[in-house]
Chain A
Amino acid sequence: MAVTIAKEKWTSKVGEMELGTGAKAIKVGGETSLPFLHFEGEIPNRPVLALEVWDMEPTEWPDILKKPFDGVLADPVAWAKKNVEYGADLIAIRFMSAHPDFKDASPEECAATAKAVADAVDVPLVLIGCGIDEKDAAVMEKVGEALNGKQCLIGCATEKNYKTITAAAMVNGHSVIASSPLDINLAKQLNILMTEMNLPTNRIAIDPLVGALGYGIEYAYSIMERARMGALMGDKMLAMPVICFVGQEAWKAKEAKSPDEETPEWGALDKRAILWEVVTTTSFALAGGSIFILRHPETIKHVNTHFAKVMESNAY
C-alpha cells in the first residue's frame, strides 16, 4: 500500500485586502488552502502584525508593557515611530481619549492625531475607536476623512454603527473591521449588511472578538476554522481576512500580569507574559487569523520567526 497524499479540493479563496500605499503597502488574505498547508494551495501573503499606539497615555498598562516604550507613551507620533523600529507591519491607533470616561475628545481632535501619525510613518494604519458605538462612528467619519486615500483599516463597525463607518470607508478609500460577538452567523450577517451598501467584500476584515489563551481562545479558534473552510468552499460572505485583537486580551489575562511572588508556580512573569501574547497569536494564525493587533515588541519578533518557518513550503 503506497501513501497517497490527501489533498482537499477547495473551489474558492479568501479575498485579498490591500492596506496602505507606497513601498510599505501590504496585502493580506488571498489563501486557497487551510493555514500553512502549502501542499494543497497558495498562501500568497503571510499574516501581518500591528503594534498599538494610544492617543493618551495608558496608565493602567503593566510595567513590562510600558518599558519598551519608555518616554513615548504620551506622544502618539514618537510611539508610532518606535513601533516601526520594532518591526510592526502596521500601526494601530486607538482613540482612547474619545471615551466619555476619559477625555471625551472630539472627532476633530482624533483626526488631528491620526494625521500627525500618518505624516510621521509610512506603514499602513489601523484606526480603532474607543469602543462606544456612537462615538466611534462620529470619530471614524472625521478620521477617515482626514486620511483620505491612505487605504487604512478602520473600525470597529458593529451592527449598531456599521452604516456610518462603512460610508466613511467607502468615501475615503478605506477598509472596515466588522465586529460581531463570537458567532459565525452574526459575522456573516454584518458582512452582508455592509456589502449591501456596496462596500467591496475585499475591504472587510472579520473581527470575531477573540479571547486570549485560557480565556475562551477556543471559541474564536473554531469560528476562524469554520470561516476559512466556508471561504474555501465558496461562501463569499465569509471570505474575508480575520483580524484578531490579541494584545488587549492577552494582557488582561492573569497569567500575563501576576507577579512572580504571587504565583511562583507559574514561572517568571517576563517570559510567561510574552508567551501568553505569542501563543495566543500563533494559535489564531493556525486557525486562520491574518491581521494581529499586538502590544509588546518582543511578541512581534518571536511571532515573525515562527511565521517565517511556517511560510516555508511543506509540499510533498
Chain B
Amino acid sequence: MGLTGLAIFKQLPKTNCKDCGQPTCLAFAMQLASGKAALDQCPHVSDAAKEALDSASAPPIALVKIGKGEKEVALGNETVLFRHEKRFEYPTGIAIAVKDTDGDIASKVAGINKLVFDRVGQIHSVNLVAVVNASGDGAKFAEAAKTVQANTEFPLVLVSEDPAAMGSALEAAGANNPLICGANAANLEAMVELAKKYDAPLVVKGNGLEELESLVEKAGYKKLFLDSGAREVNKVLADQTQIRRQALKKFRPFGYPTITFADNTDPIQAVVDASVYIAKYAGIVVVDSADPADLLPLITLRLNIYTDPQKPIAVESKLYEIGTPGPDSPVFVTTNFSLTYFNVQGDVESGRINGYILPVDTDGISVMTGWAAGKFTPEKITEMLNTSGVADKVSHRKVVIPGGVAVLSGKLHELSGWEVLVGPRESGGIPSFIKQRWGA
C-alpha cells in the first residue's frame, strides 16, 4: 500500500539475521512491499517501526465487523471510487429501523426476518436491525433491544445518543458485538468507554466533515463507522464522495466505513435516497420501512452495483419452464450468462410463449463470446438436451438456437438427432419468430 521496499528497509533492524527466512533485510523489505511477506515474520522489529509500517501498509478503509457468527456483517476494505476500476468489496449493509415506541416489536422483527429474496438460486436479504431509542427512556430502550435480540439472528445497531440509555441497552443486548450508534461531540468520551467495554464497533457523528475529523482523532478508537451528520440526499452524496475520496488518499481519520440514514418522510423518496447511498459508498444504510416492495429494489440494486465487473454472473444451468409449457412447447437454448438468460426469458414471457429455456453452462459468458471461446458447443448443447429432462417433457424433437451461432446447427443435429431451428440473432425477435416458425 504505497510504501516502497526501500522505505520499509529503513525501518528494519538491518542485521541480515535471516530469522525471517530471507537472506537479507533488504530482500525481506522487498517481499513486504509486494505483499508476499508479513511484518510479524521478523522477530526483531521495534515497536515504533512496527506501528509506522502497520499504519502505512493498512488498507485505506478499515474492515469493521458487526455481530457474531453466521450473520456477522463486515464493511470497509474498499479500494476504488468506481466499480469499473476494480470492484466494490463489501456490499452495503441494509438495516431496518425498529423504534422502542413501536407497538408490537416482536412481530415487526418477524417481518424483517422475512426480508429474504431468492434471485435465480442466490439468496439475498437485509442485514441488520436498528433499534432506535425514540422514547428517550433508557429502560424502554433496553427492553426493546432485548426483545429484538431475542427475535432475530441479524446483528443489532443500537441508536441512542444518551450514554446512560446505551449502557442499559448494552447490558441487555451487548454480548453479540452490536454497533453502538453513537458518539457525537457531546457524549464522545462516555460512548467510547462503552464501546471499549464491550469491544464493539462505534458510530462517530460529526456536524459536518470538519467536526467528524476532530472527533475521530479524539476518540482514539479503531472500530468506527463515520456519520457526517448530513441527512438530505444532495449533502449526503457530497459527504459520502468526500469521505471515500479522502480515505483512498490515505487521509486516516476518514479511513472507516460509513453509516447513512434514509429517513426521508416521503416513503418513495426514502427508497430513492437509500438507493443513492448504496451506489455511492455507504457502509450501512438505515431504512425505516420493512415493506418488501421497498426493499426488493434496494437489495437488487446492491446486488447489481456490487457485482464484480470482471466476473459475469451466471444463472444455474438447468431446465427453466416459462409460463405453463406442455409437450408441444418450444425449447430454446442459450447460455447461462445472467444477462443473456434474462433477455431470453423476458422476451419469451413478453411474447406470451409457454416454453422451455436451457441455459448451457458457459461459465457465465454470452452467446457469441461463449461460441468463440469454445464453451458454447454442439457437444455441450447435446449433453444438456440429454440430461436436463427436457426430452421427457416434450413430444417433439425441435430445438431453437440463437441466430448468432447458426453455424452450430449441422453438428448439433448430427450429435443430438434433434431438428435445429435457427432463431433470431437478438432475443427480441423471439415472439415473431415463434409466431412465424413454430408449429408451421
| CB-based contact A217/B301 at 8 Å | yes
Q: Is B339 an interface residue (CB 8 A)?
A: yes
Please give the number of chain A residues whose Cβ is less than 8 angstroms from any Cβ of chain B in the complex.
54
Complexed CA–CA distance, A222 and B251 (Å)? 26
Chain A residue numbers with a CB within 8 Å of B318 are none
B84 contact set on A, CB distance < 8 A: 222, 225-226
Q: Nearest-CB distance from B252 to chain A (Å)?
A: 8
Chain A 282-299: CB-based contact to B (< 8 A → 1; otherwise 0): 110011000000000000
A211 touches B272 (CB 8 A): no
* Smallest CB gap from B350: residue in A: A252
Known contacts A313-B234, A314-B234: A279-B266 contact under CB 8 Å: no
Contact, CB under 8 Å: A267 / B237? no
Identify A266's interface contact among B249, B269, B296, B352, CB under 8 A.
B296
Chain B residues with Cβ under 8 A from A23's Cβ? none
- Per the bound structure, the CA–CA distance linking A283 and B297 in Å amounts to 11
Complex interface: stretch among B35-43, B71-79, B275-283, B407-415:
B275-283
Q: Cβ of A213 < 8 Å from any Cβ of B?
A: yes
Contact with A along B226-255 (1 / 0, CB 8 A): 000000111101100110011001010100
Which of B82, B298, B346, B349 contacts A222, CB < 8 Å?
A: B82
A37:B237 contact, CB within 8 angstroms: yes
Residues of A contacting B303 in the complex (Cβ-Cβ under 8 angstroms): 214
The answer, yes or no, to whether B432 is at the interface (CB within 8 Å) is yes
On whether the beta carbons of B83 and A218 are closer than 8 Å, the reply is: yes
Q: Are A219 and B297 in contact (CB under 8 A)?
A: no
**For the complex, would chain A's binding face be called helix, strand, loop or mixed by DSSP majority?**
helix
Chain A residue nearest to B293 (CB atoms) is A267
Confirm or deny: B89 has a beta carbon within 8 angstroms of a beta carbon on chain A. no
When the two chains form their complex, are residues A282 and B272 in contact, meaning their CB atoms are under 8 A apart? yes
How many B residues face the partner with a CB closer than 8 A?
Answer: 59
Among A119-127, A140-148, A198-206, A268-276, the stretch in contact with B = A268-276
Most buried by B among A39, A214, A311: A214
Say whether B276 contacts A271, CB under 8 Å. Answer: no
> CB of B9 within 8 A of chain A?
no
Tell me whether A5 and B234 are in contact in the complex, defined as CB-CB below 8 angstroms, given that A266-B296, A275-B293 are known contacts. no
Q: Answer whether residue B304 sits at the interface, using C-beta atoms and an 8 A cutoff.
A: yes
* Distance between Cα atoms of A1 and B238 in the complex (Å): 20
Q: C-beta contact mask, B257-285 vs A, less than 8 Å → 1, else 0?
A: 00000000010110110011001100000
Contacting residue for B272 out of A1, A254, A279, CB 8 A: A279
Q: Interface on B for A, CB 8 Å cutoff?
A: 82-84, 114, 117, 119, 209-210, 213, 217, 232-235, 237-238, 241-242, 245-246, 249, 251, 253, 266, 268-269, 271-272, 275-276, 279-280, 291-298, 300-301, 303-305, 307, 309, 338-339, 342-343, 346, 349-350, 352, 428, 431-432, 435
What 9 pairs across the A-B complex have the smallest Cβ distances? Answer: A267-B293, A314-B238, A267-B292, A272-B293, A222-B84, A6-B245, A271-B293, A216-B339, A218-B304
List, sorted by A's number, 25 A–B pairs whose CB atoms are closer than 8 Å: A1-B251, A3-B210, A3-B242, A5-B242, A36-B237, A101-B432, A214-B304, A217-B301, A218-B309, A221-B305, A225-B84, A252-B346, A252-B350, A265-B114, A267-B291, A267-B293, A272-B297, A279-B272, A282-B272, A282-B275, A286-B280, A305-B269, A309-B269, A312-B234, A314-B237
